[in-house]
């Protein structure tokens, strides 16, 4: 058992196994996102075994590396729906801009209401974009990249879990609008959830996620001088 724990396959086995269990739980409890439950399973196992987080991260490096090709692969459904995207280009641009502005303003309002520190403010502002982009924005502003990753993941998980129910109750059924909302607010997690909804929703969510990263980065140019 001790030998297996220090084998590089331990981290991969735990991650894949936890996700498989989480998918089974999700089939019975639909509101519980697999990412949320699988993360909880992994953390509980690591805590019980007193396994170092740093060592675990090294063992799952292969999965982290595969995130790049997986993200690029999102371009396939975008290309398949290029005609519909051209027809709805105005809606896409307006939605992404509105989502990016709302994401920044809501983060700032949350910190002000809770009387958070200036460091927390700089770290949480890019919460609605994917972690790699959020890290660079946070670092440029003088925030803490580690906090930015946490805020980005929490935002994505909450958006993936609560977003669909909120959109359904709001009467939104259009897959294009669904995808744009999820991709703009919950980046990768929202896109994964949108792909479960339909390929059209997933395509527009992936497009919104990419455009939101660009738009948010541009919006932070004047904020950099104001907050710096």
Q: Residue 216 and residue 101: Cα distance in Å, rounded? A: 8
Rounded alpha-carbon distances, angstroms, from residue 130 to 74, 81, 183, 188, 222 = 14, 23, 10, 7, 21
pLDDT higher than threshold 70 for residue 227 = no
Instruction: Provide the CB-side half-sphere exposure for 7 (13 A, CA).
Output: 9
Lowest mean pLDDT among 3-12, 47-56, 98-107, 115-124: 3-12
Q: What is the mean pLDDT of the chain?
A: 86
Is pLDDT larger for residue 163 or for residue 62? 163
- Beta-carbon contacts of 145 under 8 Å, excluding residues fewer than 6 positions away, are 123, 135, 138, 139
What pLDDT, on the 0 to 100 scale, is given for residue 192? Answer: 84
What pLDDT, on the 0 to 100 scale, is given for residue 153? Answer: 85
Q: In whole angstroms, what separates CA 152 from the centre of its chain?
A: 6
What tokens does 105 get? Answer: 């303003």
Lowest mean pLDDT among 49-58, 92-101, 107-116: 49-58
Tens digit of each residue's pLDDT (9 = 90 or more) over 30-48: 777 787 788 899 999 989 8
Q: What Rg value do the Cα atoms of the chain yield, rounded?
A: 19
Tens digit of each residue's pLDDT (9 = 90 or more) over 115-174: 888 888 889 988 888 888 888 888 888 888 888 888 988 898 888 888 888 898 888 889
Task: Please give the angle made by the CA atoms of 24, 29 and 31, to the nearest 5 degrees.
Answer: 120
Threshold 0.95, pTM exceeds: no
């Amino acid at each position: 058992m001790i030998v297996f724990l220090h084998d590089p396959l331990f981290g991969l086995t735990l991650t894949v196994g936890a996700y498989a269990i989480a998918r089974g739980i999700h089939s019975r409890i639909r509101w519980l996102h697999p990412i949320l439950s699988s993360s909880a399973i992994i953390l509980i196992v690591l805590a019980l075994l007193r396994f170092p987080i740093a060592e675990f991260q090294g063992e799952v490096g292969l999965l982290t590396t595969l995130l790049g090709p997986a993200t690029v692969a999102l371009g396939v459904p975008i290309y398949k729906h290029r005609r519909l995207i051209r027809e709805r280009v105005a809606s896409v641009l307006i939605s992404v801009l509105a989502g990016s502005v709302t994401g920044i303003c809501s983060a700032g309002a949350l910190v002000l209401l809770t009387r958070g520190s200036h460091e927390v403010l700089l770290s949480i502002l890019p919460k609605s974009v994917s972690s790699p982009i959020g890290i660079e924005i946070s670092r440029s502003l003088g925030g803490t990249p580690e906090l930015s990753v946490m805020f980005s993941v929490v935002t994505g998980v909450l958006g993936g879990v609560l977003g669909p129910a909120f959109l359904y109750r709001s009467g939104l059924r259009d897959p294009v609008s669904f995808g744009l909302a999820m991709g703009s607010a919950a980046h990768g997690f929202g896109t994964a959830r949108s792909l479960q909804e339909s390929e059209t929703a997933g395509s527009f969510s992936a497009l919104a996620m990419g455009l939101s990263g660009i738009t948010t980065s541009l919006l932070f140019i004047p904020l950099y001088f104001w907050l710096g």
